[in-house]
């Protein structure tokens, strides 16, 4: 009899644990679904070419925790503006910091390989502070110079998303020091020498990027082709 009572007790505990687990998983945020649902709000004309800044602005303006901010920023490509599969793995890269010119290492979630090359060559990072619902945090963001007075502003990019005349359109994108923020460098920190060596010797961020970065602009077909480069260079 005692044995049967013990079995029943264990069964009840197991059921409660399972139920709690199901409640937790069902209440967990679906960040990817949120971005899909709000796609037409983020991109009213459906043009997301090189529009990573639109995603960043949409996310940082939300009343969310720092964890939410991190998770949302894993789901779009700062270079192309494409959504990224939720199970994607990032590339480990380095980018120069705007002020110090030091190399800052971190993880970059991209839609395709060429985007890692383009963001390493044509962007800079800056450290910013922001107050989230659970407190103020510091982090590194990718930035590009104000592109609004470019004569060759890429015609496949919606200029109104970025610009108000020759000035950055702060209602549409997030800016600092006349630079547009295009995305988040995850886990950003000062590079160690072995990390720099790793990036330079990696088959993607090293060998492939060297090849891409030495290809004439008119011959670039992979990734965003020359669209982001024209915007950012």
* Per-residue model confidence (pLDDT) at position 13: 38
Q: What is the pLDDT of residue 222?
A: 62
pLDDT tens track for 89-121: 999 999 999 999 999 999 999 999 999 999 999
pTM of the model: 0.86
Q: What's the angle, vertex CA 208, arms to CA 179 and CA 195, rounded to 5?
A: 70
The residue ranges of the chain whose pLDDT is under 70 are: 1-28, 222-225
Side-chain half-sphere of 55: how many Cα atoms within 13 Å? 35
Distance of alpha carbon 65 from alpha carbon 67, whole angstroms: 5
């Amino acid at each position: 009899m005692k044995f049967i009572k013990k079995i029943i007790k264990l069964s009840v505990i197991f059921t409660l644990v399972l139920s709690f687990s199901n409640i937790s998983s069902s209440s967990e945020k679906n960040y990817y679904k949120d971005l899909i649902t709000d796609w037409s709000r983020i991109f009213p004309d459906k043009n997301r070419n090189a529009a990573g800044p639109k995603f960043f602005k949409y996310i940082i303006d939300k009343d969310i925790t720092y964890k939410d901010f991190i998770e949302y920023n894993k789901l779009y490509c700062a270079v192309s503006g494409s959504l990224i599969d939720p199970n994607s793995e990032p590339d480990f890269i380095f980018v120069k910091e705007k002020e110090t010119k030091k190399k800052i290492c971190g993880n970059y979630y991209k839609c395709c390989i060429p985007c890692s090359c383009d963001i390493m060559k044509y962007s800079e990072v800056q450290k910013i502070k922001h107050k989230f619902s659970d407190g103020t945090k510091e982090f590194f963001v990718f930035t590009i110079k104000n592109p609004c007075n470019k004569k060759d502003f890429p015609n496949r990019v919606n200029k109104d998303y970025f610009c108000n005349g020759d000035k950055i359109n702060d209602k549409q994108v997030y800016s600092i020091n006349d630079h547009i923020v295009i995305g988040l460098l995850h886990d950003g920190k000062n590079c160690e020498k072995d990390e720099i060596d790793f990036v330079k010797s990696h088959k993607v961020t090293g060998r492939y990027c060297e090849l891409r970065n030495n290809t004439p602009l008119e011959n670039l077909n992979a990734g965003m082709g020359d669209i982001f480069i024209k915007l950012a260079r």
